[in-house]
Structure 1
Amino acid sequence: MKVRSLLLANLVIVAAMAGFAVWAAGIAPEGMELPTHWNAAGEVDQTMAPLPALLMPAGISLFVALVFAVTPMLEPLQHKLEGSAPLLRAVWIGTMALVVAIQGIIAAPLFGYSPGAGAILVLVGLLFVLMGNMLPKSRPGFFVGIRTPWTITDADNWIATHRLGGKLFMLAGAVLVLAGLFDVPAELRMVATLGGIVVAALIPVAYSWWFWRTRSRSGKGA
């Protein structure tokens, strides 16, 4: 899998984000701090000076670039990696877009706006929807997809598990989007958010074991 073009694009974005951070910090009123964290109620509970607050997303974007660039090199199943390339590229691009948007949300108070935590939930939810849509297009590997002992060793198990996982990730993403769009109690928002993520993460793992167990009993397992 070729990553050079995406890596270059990501590095250009990092440079642009760093430049924006320096410019935006320069126009910030003296003593102003920007939000960097929100609690379950959507209230700001952590702030930082403008420059470090705005450089933080740029640093995260650089880290993401390095992780996604190195991952294909570490994959033992190189001959199957190209089958998961669409998922890897989509998640990479989606994560880049998410981090850029988060920098914009942090900078928003400088321009008279306060999108708040709800906007971040919506964006993360959309990333989950993207991941869910792309999961069924992946193939067995050690660094991409829902990796269990049963999916990695059985292509049929991988495909079935990722079809289910894709639907659950899209459902969890929709829950996150709704939780971000509507003004709901903090407790309900937290339960819906964590519940959706846990369901999307754990059910496919249990299903991959069940799929393997069923095939083993029927004599079709490896």
Structure 2
Amino acid sequence: MTYRRITFVSAIVVAAMGLVAALAVQRLPPGTRLPIHWNAAGQADGFAEASRALFMPVAIAGVVSLLLAILPRIEPMQHRLEQSAPLYRTAWAGVLAMLVLVEIVIAAPAFGLWLPAALPLAAGGVLLIVIGNALPKSRPGFFVGIRTPWTLTDPENWIATHRFGARTMILGGAMLVGAALLPIEPAARQAFVLGGIAVAVIPPLIFSWWFWHRRKARM
């Protein structure tokens, strides 16, 4: 199983991001500082010198793409990773798309544009929804999916947990999108975001243990 096409596309995307960053740096006056971090309320709370801020998403996208291109080659359970290929490619493309959006948000002022600060938050929610939709298509492996001691040792637990986790991840993603779009106070937005992340992550972990415990009690 290879990922040559998405690796090639990723290389082109990273190069395009680098070009945008270089053009933006030339258009900004010396000493300009741009956002590099947003808090849970969707507000920029970290800034850096323009060149660092603009090339940081490029570097992250390059490292992430390289890592994702290497992982399939060292996966011990090759046949199962092949079964998880739809989820793997979806997560890869989704993370790359989100980094592209972050690059656009950071570079926008250099081109006379001002995008909503909550846009990366909304993109994070969409990413969770997309990954959640692909989650049931995965099978046990070391690098893909919800990996707990109970899912890794029982394919039935894995399938049940990922079907359940798909629902909670989609719900959590919807909560993040709602937090980004609704006209609410920053404190309420932050609580909504943290709640959405908790909904997406915690219930599947508990469910995998519960599924194992229920099966064990029936034996």
| TM-superposed deviation, 1:213 | 1.0
TM-score normalised by structure 1 residue count: 0.93
Question: Is the 8 Å Cα contact of residues 125 and 173 (structure 1) preserved in structure 2?
Answer: yes
1:32-88 Cα distance to aligned partner (Å, 9 max, x none):
222222345544332223222111110010111122112212222112111100000
User: What does residue range 162-201 of structure 1 map to in structure 2 within 5 Å?
Assistant: 162-201=162-201
Q: Does 1:49 align with 2:49?
A: yes
Provide structure 1 residue ranges, at least 5 long, that are not aligned to the other structure. none
Could you say what the CA RMSD is over the residues aligned between the two structures, in angstroms?
A: 1.5
Question: Is the 8 Å Cα contact of residues 140 and 151 (structure 1) preserved in structure 2?
Answer: yes
* Equivalent in the alignment of 1:32: 32
Question: Is the 8 Å Cα contact of residues 54 and 103 (structure 2) preserved in structure 1?
Answer: yes
- Look up the SS of the partner of 2:35 in the other structure: strand
Structure 1: distance between partners of 2:135 and 2:108:
33
| 1:43–1:141 CA distance, 2 compared to 1 (3 A) | closer
Structure 2: distance between partners of 1:131 and 1:15:
25
- Look up the SS of the partner of 2:70 in the other structure: helix
| TM-superposed deviation, 1:113 | 2.8
Structure 1: distance between partners of 2:193 and 2:40:
10
Question: Is the 8 Å Cα contact of residues 41 and 193 (structure 2) preserved in structure 1?
Answer: no
| 1:160–1:42 CA distance, 2 compared to 1 (3 A) | closer
* Equivalent in the alignment of 1:101: 101
Question: Is the 8 Å Cα contact of residues 42 and 116 (structure 1) preserved in structure 2?
Answer: no
- Look up the SS of the partner of 1:30 in the other structure: coil
| TM-superposed deviation, 1:133 | 0.1
* Equivalent in the alignment of 2:66: 66
Structure 1: distance between partners of 2:210 and 2:40:
35
Structure 1: distance between partners of 2:148 and 2:41:
35
* Equivalent in the alignment of 2:205: 205
Residue identity opposite 1:127 in structure 2: L
Structure 1: distance between partners of 2:217 and 2:43:
52
- Look up the SS of the partner of 1:117 in the other structure: coil
Q: Percent identity between the aligned chains?
A: 47
| TM-superposed deviation, 1:4 | 1.8
Structure 2: distance between partners of 1:152 and 1:39:
34
Residue identity opposite 2:102 in structure 1: I
Greater Cα offset, 182-191 or 205-214: 182-191
Provide structure 2 residue ranges, at least 5 long, that are not aligned to the other structure. none
Count of aligned residue pairs for this structure pair: 219
User: What does residue range 110-129 of structure 1 map to in structure 2 within 5 Å?
Assistant: 110-129=110-129
